[in-house]
Structures are given as structure tokens and as C-alpha cells.
Structure 1
Amino acid sequence: MTRPRVAVAGVHGHGASHVRNVARLAEAGRAELVGVADPRPVEGVRAFDSLEQLLAATEVDVVIISTPIQTHVPLAELAMRAGADVLLEKPPTASLAEFEQLTKLVDETGRACQVGFQAQASEATLTLGRIVADGQLGEIRGISAVGKWVRTAKYFGRARWAGKRRLDGVDVVDGAVTNPLAHATAAALLLDGSTGVDDVRSVETELYRANPIESDDTSTVRIVTSRGTTILIAVTLCAVEHLEPAVIVHGSEGNAVLEYASDRLGGTKYGRADLLENLLAHRADPAVPLYVPLAATGGFTRVVEAVRTAADPTEIPDEFVQWEGEGLERRPVVLNVENWIDRASDELALFSELGAPWTKQPPRENS
């Protein structure tokens, strides 16, 4: 049997992990890395300056797209119209309109599009989803997702689009909620069984920033799903220390804590399926379902759209920020932000409702 021919677009940063993964499968005789596309120099593999050049030069079965957010849709279109299936990094699109455009493209071409929310292929996440659906936690009071991360000036300086809401007139919608901690929101929606576009009833956003960037780095977002579930997202990139993110299901019979980054549920370690292997299995047998088909990211995209259309993040006043480090390691710490995140999670409340001292504007309902 001919091995699937795989290409990777965007191989610096997270894209390097995709190259390593394809190499792993190639060594096992399960795939072939036919080339990579990146405008920056690449050594050790057959490289092209663009995906268009790569597709013109060689036949490809699967394209992995790990490029800036605003390039996802045009590159996915190139790949699908060339007859390739796609593994598309998250967030899949920067707007609901782009999501609808990409959905039509999938339908038109018949190609598969798997989105890189790898936590949704975790047995820990899927097990908790079954526990919730079976009613083992009783009546669900709500679901919260918390992220207390650290990001330095180096992170925001790594690319022109980093920390941007728009770039060269094009939506980017980078930010704590939509990119680095996007897995938290996506996992929370999955646990509620609310992954589709129509599964989200409303989204309220409170976006703040301590860094000199356009996008948010400290935010709360409250989602109400069509099922009536409240999902509260409370995240920061300005914590004292970098901690494991978590999704908490609050039930009348107890709470359950999912640490999705390490595949732990209630302290128990679970396995995780590989999204590329799953996509290759789906190619070989369409009866094998994708873990994260594009349609299952519609609810998340509704959140991206709410962030995109929200007012620009409010700058956190200097008196609530402590700066640490120098040069590329310089970073802000929002004072006591961990406590406010924990309270937001417990009470399913926005920062302003709790009286967090840096809040000035009332929450805005975007949809």
C-alpha cells in the first residue's frame, strides 16, 4: 500500500512538532514527508517558499497547516483544491464568516478537515464528557476553564501577527482566549456537547491587557449554550508562575477537574490519540470518525467572533501591574490575578461582577 504523502506548511514554532510527528510516522512506514513550505529557511528537508510552490512540484495527500491565523483559510483552500486533506491548527479561522467559507469549501471539495484541538482526542476529556452526559455529577451548575500562564516579550515579538487583532487590514484575533488558551474553551464546549455553531446562545466578553499589545492577555468570557449551560472562561498570560490549565465541571453531586494539557482527570493520567494518525485512518476508511472535524469547532468559532467584534481590550492600570525581567524576558504580572481567576471560576462570574480592581467597563454581550 502506498504511504500517504504528507506536507507541512509553517515549520517554525509549533510547526516543528508536526514535522517531528510526520518523521515518526515515516520511520514506522506509515507516511512520507514530501516537503515543507515556509518563507524562512529550513534545513534537512525538501523545502519550498510557499505552499503553492510545493503543491505545484509534488503530489500531496495531506497538508498540515501551522501558519499564522489569518492565512489558515487561503492555505486550506489551496490544499483542498489540490486534492489534499487538511490538518488545520487552531483556531481554524479568525471570524465566523471565514468559518462559513471554509465549511462550504469542505462540502464542495469533499476533503477532510481536522482541526488541531488535540485535547479533544484525549481519553481524559472524552471520559469526562461521558461522565457528564450520564449524569454522574448530577445537575450541572456550570463549567469553568482557567488558565494561569506566563508569556514574556519574546513571545509577543516572535512574529508580526503575535498579539494583534488585525494586521494589514486582515483579522488575526490573536489573544489569550482565542489562541494560547483556546483549548480550554474548546474542551469546555465539548464537555457540554455544544460544539456546533448553533449550540451557543450568547457570549459576553471582558478583555484586558497588561502587555503593550492589541489583543487580550487577561480576560473573562461567559458563554451560555443552547442547552442552558453557563461556561465561564477566566485566563491570563500575566500570572506569577506558569500553571497547568484546567476545565472544571461544577455538578450537584461534586466537581470534576480536567487538566487537559497533561491528560489528567481527577489526578488519573489517560492516553491521547494522535490527530494526524486519526486523519490518515479516516482517509483509509471514512467510517473512522475524525476527532475534531471542522463542524465540531463552530461553537468555539462563535467565541472567536465575539472576541473579534468586541471593543479593544482595556489596558490594566499601572498600579495593578508589576513588571519583572529584562529585555526579551520582560513580562507583566497582574497583581492577585490568580485569586480573581479562581473566584471567577467558582462563581461563574466576570471580573467586573466580582469587583476586580482593574475593571472599569461593564461586560459587553456580543451575540
Structure 2
Amino acid sequence: MSRPKVAKLAIVGCSGYAMELIKRIWMFRGEIELVAAFSPDLTLPEVALCEQRGVRVIDDFDSFIEYIEHRVHAVMNPTPIHRHKEISIRCLQAGLPVWVEKPPVATLHEWDELREAARFYAKPVEVCFNALYLPSVRLVKDRLLQGEFGRMHRIRGVGAWARPRSYFTRSDWAGHLRVDGDWVLDGTINNPLAHLLCNCLYFGGAEAVSMARPVKMSARLWHANDIESEDTSSLRIITDTDVEIVTNMTLCSERMVAPEMTIETEKADIVFRDFQDMDICWHDGKIEAFPSARENRLDMLETLCRSLFEEVMTPCPLECTRPFTEVVNAAFYQVLSRSEGCVPSVHPGALNRFVCTDGPCIGLCGIDQLVLDAYREGAMLDLPCASGESSRLDLELVEELSPHASEGMPT
């Protein structure tokens, strides 16, 4: 990084994922300074670690905002999903740019409110879909828009991870549809594997910094774990750029399938592996490889810090993310409105139990092969529901789904 000033940041939180970001900030010695962190619990070991590194940790949020108002250039907001809008707006009111963790918010109504606040206070909100910050992503998106690969036909995505039961009990919002009346919509499409859906929409977008808007979609959501939201999903989307997107994701796989997406075009298939490495597989047999030089969160931090001092085209400003929230809301609305406000549970006969490195898990029998087969065929998953009813839903116009979702999903 080369610029005349040190980027001074604050972060809301200092444990969990916030600490993962803090560790990466500390890798940019002399280039990024973490000035302050908010933590309601000052007894955490992470607080002591921050204080040892000269970070001021404050346990009252109003005092935190007052302290950072004239001391930092931007605030990172890796808080629970249902807190994203509220905390981001508080930071905007203090005159500070905000880098909010993905997803931007839970609902379209919240998205509209946050965008309006960003416009009113004239400060940028960037969304930390970190995979989009890889140099190779921008390069390939530009080449797609220039028509080098011919017409884009379809984008396929897959990911299968294991998450232990403790993952869903680690907080009051994990695995939930809502908390204290606020929508969360936790699950594969809106949290751990949200990058996959985001990447598909981004590469399908008609402009350099844009996501394709959903026109029609069909959603299938299930849960194997004892949660109210989903841990397994299957989406089919037809976009305004006339591209079909199909994703299949789960958190219930004994064998991990690293996230992967394939962009099918007239002249080549472009494969993006594990949110890091990309290959262009030309139909004439030539392969262009784009291995990532470093972890994408480091690219994200560097790009966002540069944007504080110079004109930089960031890949994921809030303004381009509405299609993502539109898809999430339409998917949940489509499923919940047809299942009495509940995400369908998978039939008990399809479940298995295993232990992963993080503890006991509830899994789906053979789900790793099922998602891989669906990925290769560009097909949707079809899992048995405990109710005995089919989870299949036809393609529906998103404009008939998301307006209802923005007003509030069925309960």
C-alpha cells in the first residue's frame, strides 16, 4: 500500500469474527492503525490483547461513538445481522464511512433505510463481501463485459460445509429467522455461504460495479438441525441480464465441498474456487490460471483503505447490493408463505450424525454427492421433507414476492 497517510480505523466488537478482522488489520503495520474497539464485556481475553496493542476498548456504545468521531477515518461493523442497519446509521450520523460485514442487512426495508441514511449524511457504506476484492475478480468481470467470452449462459454455484450443533447455539441469533421482532434470516444464503450467491449475482451484472437483478426465481430451503431458519438451500434465478443462476449449499455435509462457481459462456467456462483462485477454461483447451497471491480479506482491507484517500472504484458499495437482499427476501418469502411461516425440516430418515473437528454434527446422508451432482447438471436439490410434502416450487416473478418481503415476511 502506498499513500501519504495511515488509515485509522475503529471496529464494533473485538471477539469472534471481529477479532479475525483485527488480526488482519495488525498485519498492515505502519499502514493501518486500529484506534478503538467497542466491547460490552471488558473481561474478554481479546480485550486485553487489544489493549496490549494500544487499542482503546470502550464498553459503552455512545461513549465509543463520541471517542472515535474525530479520531478515525472509517468504522468496521462486523456485528450480528439484525444490528447492521442500526449500528451503521449511528456511525454515519457521526460523520464516518462504514464498512459493514455481509450481508448488508436482513430485509429490503432495512436496505432502503440504510441507503437513505448514507445519502443524507453523504458518507459511503461499503459491504464486506470480501471475495469481490480479489484483483482477478475485477479483471474477469471487465473481460466478461467487453464480450471476450461471448454470451453468458448460466452461472452454477455449490458449497457444502459442516457446522456443529454448537455453531447454532453460539448466540441468540444463530439459526434464527428473527430475534426480538427483528429479521435475521440466518442461513446458507444470507450468512456463511452468502459469498457464493453474491459472486453469482456480481458476475451476472451488466456493469462493472453491479449485481444482476432477479426477475424470476424458485427457492427450496430446509433445515436438518434443530433451528428455525435454513441450513440447506437450493436456488434457481433468472436475471434481468437473461442469465440463469443455480446454487446449492449446505452446512450439513460430513465431507466438505469447497465453495465453487462456474460461469458458462460461449467460448469458455470460468471457474472460481474457494473464493480465492480462478481458472478460465477455454473451449479450445487453453487454460488461464489466476491463483490468488494472498487471502481476499487482505485485498479488501487494502482497497477500502486506499478509497479513504484516493479515487478508487470499490467492488461492493451498498448501492450495488440490493439485488442480493432482493433474492434473499424473495427466497424466504416464497418458502415461508407456503409452509405456515416455517422453513421445512428434512425427513428424519435422511439425517445422519457425525463428529467434525469442531464437535458433534447433524448431517444429511450423502449430501456432498447430491450437491456435486446438482452442480454439474445445473439442477436444483430435491430433499424429502418431514411433512411428506414436496419442496418444489415453480419459478415465480420476483416482483410479486419481494414487495411482500419488504413489508414483512409471514409469521
- Same-fold call, TM cutoff 0.5: yes
Give me the whole-angstrom Cα distance separating, in 2, the residues matched to 1:87 and 1:109. 15
* RMSD, aligned CA: 2.3
2:48 corresponds in structure 1 to: 43
1:302 aligns with 2:326: yes
2:163 corresponds in structure 1 to: 151
Q: Which amino acid aligns with 1:88?
A: V
**What per-residue deviation string (whole Å, max 9, x for no partner) do you get for residues 20-49 of structure 1?**
233233x22x23222111223322322112
Structure 1 residues without counterparts, runs of 5 or longer: none
Give me the whole-angstrom Cα distance separating, in 1, the residues matched to 2:212 and 2:354. 43
1:257 corresponds in structure 2 to: 271
2:232 corresponds in structure 1 to: 218
Give me the whole-angstrom Cα distance separating, in 2, the residues matched to 1:2 and 1:36. 21
Alignment of 1:216-365 (within 5 A): 216-265=230-279, 268-271=290-293, 272=296, 274-285=299-310, 287-309=311-333, 310-311=335-336, 312-325=342-355, 329-352=359-382, 356-358=383-385, 360-363=390-393, 365=396
SS of the aligned residue for 1:147 comes to strand
Give me the whole-angstrom Cα distance separating, in 1, the residues matched to 2:352 and 2:23. 38
* Percent of aligned positions that are identical: 26
Give me the whole-angstrom Cα distance separating, in 2, the residues matched to 1:197 and 1:363. 24
Give me the whole-angstrom Cα distance separating, in 2, the residues matched to 1:332 and 1:144. 26
Q: Which amino acid aligns with 1:302?
A: E
2:18 corresponds in structure 1 to: 15
1:140 aligns with 2:152: yes
Q: Which amino acid aligns with 1:154?
A: S
**What per-residue deviation string (whole Å, max 9, x for no partner) do you get for residues 62-97 of structure 1?**
110011000001110111111111111000100011
SS of the aligned residue for 2:218 comes to strand
Give me the whole-angstrom Cα distance separating, in 2, the residues matched to 1:313 and 1:94. 16
**Offset at 1:6?**
1.1
Structure 2 residues without counterparts, runs of 5 or longer: 281-288, 337-341, 403-411
Alignment of 1:200-215 (within 5 A): 200-215=214-229
Q: Which amino acid aligns with 1:182?
A: A
Pair 1:305–1:343, CA change in 2 (3 A): same
Select the residue among 77, 96, 99 that pairs with 1:84. 96
SS of the aligned residue for 1:222 comes to strand
CA contact (8 A) 2:246 2:379 kept: yes
1:124 corresponds in structure 2 to: 136
Which stretch shows the higher mean deviation, 47-56 or 201-210?
47-56
**Offset at 1:198?**
7.5
Give me the whole-angstrom Cα distance separating, in 1, the residues matched to 2:211 and 2:330. 13
1:187 aligns with 2:199: yes
**What per-residue deviation string (whole Å, max 9, x for no partner) do you get for residues 174-228 of structure 1?**
1011110000011111111157578221332100110101111111011211011
Give me the whole-angstrom Cα distance separating, in 1, the residues matched to 2:115 and 2:214. 18
**What per-residue deviation string (whole Å, max 9, x for no partner) do you get for residues 103-127 of structure 1?**
1111111111111111101123233
CA contact (8 A) 1:197 1:302 kept: no
1:165 aligns with 2:190: no
SS of the aligned residue for 2:255 comes to coil
**Offset at 1:317?**
0.8
SS of the aligned residue for 1:11 comes to coil
**What per-residue deviation string (whole Å, max 9, x for no partner) do you get for residues 250-302 of structure 1?**
234342211142333356413456223222222212x2222211112111111
2:7 corresponds in structure 1 to: 4
Give me the whole-angstrom Cα distance separating, in 1, the residues matched to 2:73 and 2:180. 32
SS of the aligned residue for 1:187 comes to helix
**Length-normalised TM-score, structure 1:** 0.90
Give me the whole-angstrom Cα distance separating, in 2, the residues matched to 1:132 and 1:92. 26
Select the residue among 65, 80, 90 that pairs with 1:55. 65
Pair 1:13–1:265, CA change in 2 (3 A): farther
**Offset at 1:316?**
0.6
User: Which 4+ stretches in 1 moved above 4 angstroms?
Assistant: 194-198, 356-359
**What per-residue deviation string (whole Å, max 9, x for no partner) do you get for residues 129-177 of structure 1?**
2343344444333101100111111211211111111011110111011
CA contact (8 A) 1:153 1:328 kept: no
Pair 1:328–1:283, CA change in 2 (3 A): closer
In the comparison of the two structures, how many residue pairs are matched? 361
1:67 aligns with 2:79: yes
